[in-house]
Structure 1
Amino acid sequence: MQISKRNLLTGAALAAALAAGYGLANLRASEVGETHGEAGHGEDESKAEEGFVPLAADQAAAAGVAVVTVGRGGGSDIRLTGRVEAAPNAHAVIGAPVAGVVERVLLSPGARVGAGGGVAVIRSADGALVRAEASAAAAEAQAAQAALAREERLLKAGVTARQDWEAARAAQVRASAQASAAQARVAAFGSPGAGGQTTLRSPIAGLVTSVQAAPGGFVAQGAPVAEVSDPTRLEVVFNVPADSAARLRVGDHLKLVGPDGRETPAEIVGVAPLSQGTTGAAMVRARPLDAGLTPGAAVSAQVPADGKGLPSVPSEAVQTLEGRSVVFVAEAEGFRARSVTTGRTGGGQTQIVAGLEAGERVAGRGAFVLKAELAKGEAEHGH
C-alpha cells in the first residue's frame, strides 16, 4: 500500500470538503488517475508499511489533525473548563489627565506602542496654568534659598540677629514645600509644557486597540482617549468546585486543550478559594507557557491528580478499523495505527487498558481523517 504525501490537499480545501460531507479520501479521488499514470508499476515495488499514514506535521495541522499527549486517568484527574482572557497587567486605558483639546493623535488602532510611548497630544489651558504656577513656585523657592544664605553670612558676621536668620529659614522651607507641591501637580496633569501641551503615554507595551478621540475634539479630565493591550500576556480563568480547588496549588502544571484540539502547557499562577460566594466555586488562573491561544476562546484542561491510573486519550482519538479499536500514534514521518484495548469512557476521555503508554503522542481531533486516508489507500492497493 502506498500513500503519497503529494496527494494530500491543502487545509482550506480539506475543511471545505469535510463541511460538504466528504473525507480526505474522496478529496484525493480526482488525482488518483494522475498518480497511477506517474507511478505505474512502481506502486507495487514500494509498498508503504501496513497501517502507516505518511504525513508531515504541517500537513497534519492543515488537514485538521491535532496531536495530543497521552495522560493518565482512572477517574482521579481534575477536569476544568475555562476561558482565555488578557492578564490583569496586559490591558491599559489611557485617560486624559487634564481637560483640553486634542491637538494630535499619534497612533491609530492596530499600531504597536512601547511602554512610555506617546499616543496623543492635547492642549489645555489648565495645563498651562499649573505649569506657570510651578515655575513661579520654583522661582520663589530659589529666592528664599538665596535670602537664607545671605542671612547666614550676616549672622556669622554678627551683623544680624538670630531671629532674622530663623525667619529666613522658615520662609525657605515653606517656599521649597510649595515648589514641590506645584511640581507634583504638574506631574498629575501629565507634565504639560509651557504652552499647555500634554503627551498622553502608554504605561505598557502592546497594540493600540481603540482610540476614542480625534484632532480638534475636546476631552474632559479623566475621559478615556485610547486603549492598549498586550496580546502575548494571556491567562486562562477557570471556575472550579471548592473540593477540586483545594487540591490545586500555585505552580502546578496542566495541559490546556483549545477549541481546535491542540494542547498548550500552562502553569497555575493563582487559586482564590470560594471567590464566587454565591456559587461556592473558586477561581483558578493559569498562565499559558506557549503561544497560540486566542483571547475569548473556550478551553479545557486536565490536571493529573496523583500520576496514577490508566492512560487516557480524548474519545475521538479512538477509531474502529476492521472491527478493532485503534489509535494513530505520531511518529517522525507520519502516524501509525496501533490496536488498543479500551476501558471506561466519560467526560470526553477514554481509558486505554492495553496498547498505549502515558506520555506517547497520538492524533486526537481529526483522527478520523487518518482512518479515512488509510482505508482509501488499502482500497487503491486492492485494485
Structure 2
Amino acid sequence: MSKKHKTKVAAVVALMLGLGLSAGIDGTFSSNAVHAEEHGHDADSQAEEGHEHSDSGHDKASKRKKDDSESHSDKEHDEAEEHGHEEHKEGELELSAEQIKTAGITLAQAKSGVVNSLLELPGEITFDEDRTAHIVPRVAGVVEAITVGLGQHVKKGQLLATISSQQISEQRSELAAAKQRAALARTLFERERTLWQDKISAEQDYLEARQALQEAEISLKNAQQKMVALSGSSKPTGGNRYELRAPFDGMIIEKHIALGEVVNENSNVFIISDLAKVWATFNVSAKDLAKVTVGKAVEVSAPELETQVSGVVAYVGSLLGEQTRAAMARVTLPNPEGAWRPGLFVTIKIATSSQRAAVTVPAQAIQTIENKPTVFIRTAEGFQAQSVKVGARDGQVVEVVQGLTEGTQIAAEGSFILKSELGKGSAEHSH
C-alpha cells in the first residue's frame, strides 16, 4: 500500500473512531456508567442490606442474650426463693398425732425446777462378796463324778461333785463303832440300874455302868460332829463317797475340777456367787469424802446398757489405798434379771448440792445435733428442732439457759427418733 493510500485509510479510521467515541460517550459509555452506577448502587444496597442483616442478627443475638439473661435471672430468682423456702423449712418434721403416738414419743413442758449438782465417779460392778463362796473339799480324795457345769444355776443343797476318800471311810467306821458302843453301854446301864434298884448288885456297879454310858454317848457325839464337819450331814451314806453340795442358791462362776483328779483341803474346785445382788464399787478421793457418806442417795448408770438405777451408799472405807490414795465405797444393787454383770464399768452419780433453774427439761429431751444441744418443739405440723444452751444437769433434768421459754411443749421420751428422722431428711436432701 502506498503512503498516500495509508494516509487516507488512517483518516477514515480516525473519523469512524471519533463518531464511535461520541456514541460511546452518549450511549455506550452512558450505558456502562449507568450499569456501573446501578452496580454500585446494588453493591451499596447489598452492603446496606448486609449491614441491616448484621444489625438484625446483632439485635436478635442481643435479644436472645437478654432473654437468656432474663431467663437465667428468673431461674436464679426462683432457686433463691426455693432455697429460702427450704431454709425456712430446715429443722422441721411433719408428723401427725397418730404418727407421734405410734412412734412412742411423749411430750413434756419446759418448766422451772431444781437441778442437783452431781459428783460423777467411775465404778465397776463386782460380786457381792457376802454371797460368794469358794467351794473346797473337806477331805482329800479322787473325783468320781461332777454333776454341774460352769455358768450353771444351782440350788442350796444341790449335789456338785462326788469324791472317793479314805478319810471318809474311816470316819464313817468310827461313827458306826461309836453308835454300837453307846448302844451297848446303855443296855448295861439299864441292867445295872435294875439290879441295883432290886438290891441285887452293888451301887458301885451301877455307877460304873452309868459312867461308861456317858463316855460312850460323848464318843458318839464326837464322831457325829466329825462327820458333819466333813460332809455336812450326820447321816451315813455308806462307802467312802464324799459329796460336795451347794451352800446356797447361786451360779457356778468358776470351776477347777475334773474327773479322776486328786483334790485335797486346799483345792478351790468351785466358786459360787448369788447374783441376785451385786456391788457397785468406786473410789472416793480424800477431797470428796465429806460429800460421800453412808446412806447417801446415788444413781448408777451403764452407758453400754442404756440403763440407770437408784441406790444408796452402803459402805465407805476408813483407809485410803496406797496407790490410789482414795477410799473404797460401794452400793448394793438388786439384780433380779442378771443385767448387772460383774466387770461392767458404770458411772456413779452423787447429788452434792441443789439449785433453782428458771427453765428445765427432762434429760432425755436433749439431743446433740451438729455438736449442739437441741430440743424438738411441738408445732401444729409436727416438731421443730431448736438449738439451746444448757447449764447444770443431773440424772433427771437439764437446765436450759438460752433458746427455750417456760411452758413450751417439747418432745421428751423418744426424742432420739426425731433426731434420726431429721438425719434421714438431711441425707436425702444432700443427694
Q: Report if TM-score (shorter chain) is over 0.5.
A: yes
Is 2:257 the partner of 1:213? yes
Is 2:328 the partner of 1:283? yes
Partner of 2:272: 228
Counterpart of 1:258 (choices 281, 293, 302) is 302
Q: 1:68-108, CA deviations, whole angstroms, 9 ceiling, x for partnerless residues? A: xxx96564x33222110011133222211111111111112
Partners of 2:102 and 2:198 in 1: CA distance = 97
Partners of 2:384 and 2:230 in 1: CA distance = 66
Structure 1 residues 284 and 324, CA, compared in 2 at 3 Å: closer, same or farther? closer
Is 2:211 the partner of 1:162? no
Partner of 2:345: 298
Which amino acid in 1 is paired with 2:331? A
Where 1:304 maps in the other structure, the secondary structure is strand
Partners of 2:246 and 2:377 in 1: CA distance = 48
Deviation at 1:132, TM superposition (A): 0.4
Where 1:107 maps in the other structure, the secondary structure is coil
Q: 1:34-57, CA deviations, whole angstroms, 9 ceiling, x for partnerless residues? A: xxxxxxxxxxxx94169x988857
Partner of 1:27: none
Q: How does 1:127-206 map to 2 (within 5 A)?
A: 127-190=168-231, 191=233, 193-206=237-250
For the 8 Å contact 1:151–1:160, the answer to whether it is kept is yes
Partners of 1:224 and 1:266 in 2: CA distance = 35
Q: How many residues align?
A: 317
Which amino acid in 2 is paired with 1:185? K
Structure 1 residues 375 and 195, CA, compared in 2 at 3 Å: closer, same or farther? closer
Q: How does 1:1-383 map to 2 (within 5 A)?
A: 47-48=94-95, 56=103, 73=115, 75=117, 77-190=118-231, 191=233, 193-242=237-286, 244-260=288-304, 262-268=306-312, 270-276=314-320, 278=322, 281-289=326-334, 291=337, 292-310=339-357, 317=366, 319-320=368-369, 325-327=373-375, 340-343=388-391, 351-353=399-401, 370-377=418-425
For the 8 Å contact 2:115–2:393, the answer to whether it is kept is no
| Unmatched runs of 5 consecutive residues or more in structure 2 | 1-92, 106-112
Partners of 1:220 and 1:195 in 2: CA distance = 19
For the 8 Å contact 1:267–1:289, the answer to whether it is kept is no
Structure 1 residues 361 and 378, CA, compared in 2 at 3 Å: closer, same or farther? closer
Partners of 1:361 and 1:240 in 2: CA distance = 37
For the 8 Å contact 1:255–1:266, the answer to whether it is kept is yes
Partner of 1:24: none
Partners of 1:337 and 1:138 in 2: CA distance = 86
User: Of Structure 1 and Structure 2, which has the larger fraction of its residues in helix?
Assistant: 2
For the 8 Å contact 2:364–2:413, the answer to whether it is kept is no
The Cα RMSD (Å) is: 4.3
Structure 1 residues 249 and 178, CA, compared in 2 at 3 Å: closer, same or farther? same
Which amino acid in 1 is paired with 2:345? A
Partners of 2:372 and 2:161 in 1: CA distance = 66
Structure 1 residues 103 and 289, CA, compared in 2 at 3 Å: closer, same or farther? closer
Q: 1:187-206, CA deviations, whole angstroms, 9 ceiling, x for partnerless residues? A: 22215632111111111222
For the 8 Å contact 2:169–2:240, the answer to whether it is kept is yes
| Unmatched runs of 5 consecutive residues or more in structure 1 | 1-45, 60-70
Where 1:171 maps in the other structure, the secondary structure is helix
Structure 1 residues 343 and 273, CA, compared in 2 at 3 Å: closer, same or farther? same
Which amino acid in 2 is paired with 1:83? E
Structure 1 residues 308 and 135, CA, compared in 2 at 3 Å: closer, same or farther? farther
Which amino acid in 1 is paired with 2:421? E
For the 8 Å contact 1:341–1:352, the answer to whether it is kept is yes
Where 1:164 maps in the other structure, the secondary structure is helix
For the 8 Å contact 1:255–1:302, the answer to whether it is kept is yes
Q: 1:9-61, CA deviations, whole angstroms, 9 ceiling, x for partnerless residues? A: xxxxxxxxxxxxxxxxxxxxxxxxxxxxxxxxxxxxx94169x988857x9xx
For the 8 Å contact 2:314–2:332, the answer to whether it is kept is no
For the 8 Å contact 2:185–2:216, the answer to whether it is kept is yes
The alignment's TM-score, normalised by the length of structure 2, stands at: 0.61
Q: 1:146-194, CA deviations, whole angstroms, 9 ceiling, x for partnerless residues? A: 2222222222222233332222222222111111111111122215632
For the 8 Å contact 1:84–1:295, the answer to whether it is kept is yes
Which amino acid in 2 is paired with 1:282? A
The alignment's TM-score, normalised by the length of structure 1, stands at: 0.68
Structure 1 residues 337 and 142, CA, compared in 2 at 3 Å: closer, same or farther? farther
Where 1:195 maps in the other structure, the secondary structure is coil
Deviates more, 1:80-89 or 1:224-233: 224-233
Partners of 2:251 and 2:386 in 1: CA distance = 46
Deviates more, 1:337-346 or 1:140-149: 337-346
Structure 1 residues 56 and 48, CA, compared in 2 at 3 Å: closer, same or farther? closer
